[in-house]
Amino acid sequence: MNDFPATRETALRRLSEFVQTAAADYARTRNFVTPGHAGVSRLSAALRHRLVSEEEVLAAVLAEYRFTAVEKFVQEVVWRTYWKGWLEQHPGVWEDYVRQSTTLEPVPPSGGVMDRFTEELEATGYLHNHARMWWAAWWCHQHRLPWAAGARFFYDRLIDADAASNTLGWRWVAGLQTAGKAYLARRDNLAKYWTDHGPLDGLDEAVQARIPAETADRSRVPLPEYPEAPPHGEGRVVLLGHAEDLSIETTALGKVRPVGVGLIGPVGAHDREAKRAWQTAAMTDTAARWSQHYGIPTDRLDRWEAVGDWLAQVGCGKVVLMAPFTGPEADGWRPVRAALPAAGIEVIECRRAWDTRLFPAARAGFFPFWQKTRADFLSPDR
Ligand SMILES: Cc1cc2nc3c(=O)[nH]c(=O)nc-3n(C[C@H](O)[C@H](O)[C@H](O)COP(=O)(O)OP(=O)(O)OC[C@H]3O[C@@H](n4cnc5c(N)ncnc54)[C@H](O)[C@@H]3O)c2cc1C
């Protein structure tokens, strides 16, 4: 089934099915692009928005298997955290993408082998990882189109669109992320891993990598420190939720007793149909869960700029939220946050312990990160 869970309940069900049926075979099957994508979890949209968390996914898998039997899957899940932690520490790379992508009009070439992936992306909002790599390589190196325009084309359509995984995945294919190392789409690789491929028309075998000049400021900035939850005795507070974390009730914020709950989104003005539909479903589910958990109705906000008025309406001088990560949510939040103290509103930003623990290790490449963090996932009996 080619479906992508958009509620917490269906995401947990998918996780449990994946653990029972596919996780053990993942290292062997994960690179094959097959109809329905049964060899991979299809949990990326749920994970990106934390309908389920990385921690929950790994706990479920490691409860069933020895670490060494599922190490590849654990590693892939942790790639998401690694990219996020890296981008948090290199915001100049995100700013460079924003600068470049807003001035470009991304139109993919048509009439060749990648049409099927373009159509699948438009229709479902999802592509298998290998298809994303081929498509991005074809865009950057064969057609010599700007990587940021391709990244923008993906971002507006993917149901799992994520500032870190998308921007840094594209930069890696383009040859910017790992200095001098680009990814090329080769005919024999497509023929081997794309099980129902048709004629591989329009793929140039002789293509050479074309690595663009680096325009981003890659300086590293220190990670801000956030508590996991508001300090004890937080008093009257409101909770503000957003697309980065749709299961805050399962975190330390689940214990807060707020006088108001708000949920922002979906907010992306350029989001295409499949992406918008997935986010609408996920947020409808989230608002219902939070209303039940906190015992008060969840107010829906359609943009960050509406936060000030909403807080004034609720009449509470303290707001608690998960700090948004580098990307569009943080860009939307920053000016709103800057204006709140003048309106007499105190802000408490929190972060999951998972991110606080793992982000500092994401300073250089993935493998040094993995060397530093791998032991975290090994329990003594595995
Ligand atoms: C050019 C390009 C753009 C991408 N853009 C995005 C994006 O916007 N959002 C996004 O979530 N992923 C992105 N990815 C990563 C990856 O393709 C998807 O996360 C993956 O296809 C998810 O499918 P799945 O859940 O079935 O994966 P599975 O194989 O089941 O993997 C399990 C989980 O591991 C994580 N994961 C797997 N592969 C990667 C990876 N390469 N990078 C980071 N995390 C990974 C995801 O959370 C995924 O849900 C991109 C990759 C490339 C090459």
C-beta of 173 in contact with ligand 1 (< 6 A):
yes
How does DSSP assign 230-256, residue by residue?
A: PPS---S-EEEE-TT-TTGGGSGGGG-
For ligand 1, whether the C-beta of 43 sits within 6 Å is yes
Decide: 42 in ligand 1 pocket, CB within 6 A. Answer: yes
Considering only the C-alpha atoms of the chain, give the largest distance between any 2 of them, rounded to a whole number of Å.
Answer: 66
Supply the pLDDT for residue 379. Answer: 59
- Radius of gyration, alpha carbons of the chain: 21
How far apart, in whole angstroms, are the C-alpha atoms of residue 248 and residue 144? 42
Which among 10, 80, 101, 370 is the best mutation to test ligand 1's pocket, defined by most ligand atoms within 8 Å of the CB?
80
Q: Is the beta carbon of 54 within 6 A of some atom in ligand 1?
A: no
Contact by Cβ (8 Å): 52, 61:
no
Strand partners, 319: 238, 347
User: Amino acid identity of 148?
Assistant: A
Domains 8-89+360-377 and 100-193 share a fold: no
CA neighbor of 337 nearest in space, from 234, 247, 242: 242
**Taking each helix axis from N to C terminus, what angle separates 115-124 and 273-294, rounded to the nearest 10 degrees?**
30
Task: Specify whether domain 8-89+360-377 bears CATH 1.10.3720.10.
Answer: no
Question: What CA–CA distance (Å, rounded) separates 278 from 268?
Answer: 12
- 189/122 Cα distance (integer angstroms): 24
pTM, two decimals, is 0.97
Residue by residue, pLDDT tens for the chain (382 residues) are: 458 999 999 999 999 999 999 888 999 999 999 999 999 999 999 999 999 999 999 999 999 999 999 999 999 999 999 999 999 999 999 999 999 998 777 899 998 999 999 999 999 999 999 999 999 999 999 999 999 999 999 999 999 999 999 999 999 999 999 988 999 999 999 999 999 998 898 999 899 999 999 999 999 999 999 999 998 777 899 999 999 999 999 999 999 999 999 999 999 889 999 999 999 999 999 999 999 999 999 999 999 999 999 999 999 999 999 999 999 999 999 999 999 999 999 999 999 999 999 999 999 999 999 999 999 887 544 4
* CA gap 306, 356 in Å, rounded: 29
pLDDT at site 382: 44
CA of 80 to the centre of ligand 1 (A): 7
Beta carbons within 8 Å of 52's beta carbon, 6+ residues apart: 8, 11, 12, 15, 43, 46, 247
Q: Confirm or reject: Cβ of 366 under 6 Å from ligand 1.
A: no
Nearest-CA residue for ligand 1 atom 26 is 42
Indicate if ligand 1 lies below 6 Å from the C-beta of 169.
yes
Say if ligand 1 is within 6 A of residue 130 CB.
Answer: no
Tell me which amino acid residue 46 is. A
Establish whether residue 160 lines the binding site of ligand 1, counting it when its CB lies within 6 angstroms of any ligand atom: yes
Q: Which residues contact 22 (CB under 8 A, 6 or more apart)?
A: 29, 38, 39, 40, 41
Tokens of 96: 């460079």
**Nearest C-alpha to atom 35 of ligand 1 is from which residue?**
77
Question: At the fourth CATH level, which superfamily is domain 238-350?
Answer: HUPs (3.40.50.620)
User: Going by C-beta distance under 8 Å and a sequence separation of 6 or more, which residues neighbour residue 103?
Assistant: none
Q: Which two tokens stand for residue 61?
A: 């898998």
Structure tokens at 208: 């050479």
Residue nearest to atom 6 of ligand 1 (CA): 166
Domain boundaries 100-193, CATH class: mainly alpha
Residue pair 11/52 in contact by the 8 Å Cβ criterion:
yes
d(CA 24, CA 20): 8
Asked if residue 124 has its Cβ within 6 Å of ligand 1, the reply is no
CB 262 within 8 A of CB 239: yes
Domain assignments of the chain as residue spans, ordered by start: 8-89+360-377, 100-193, 238-350
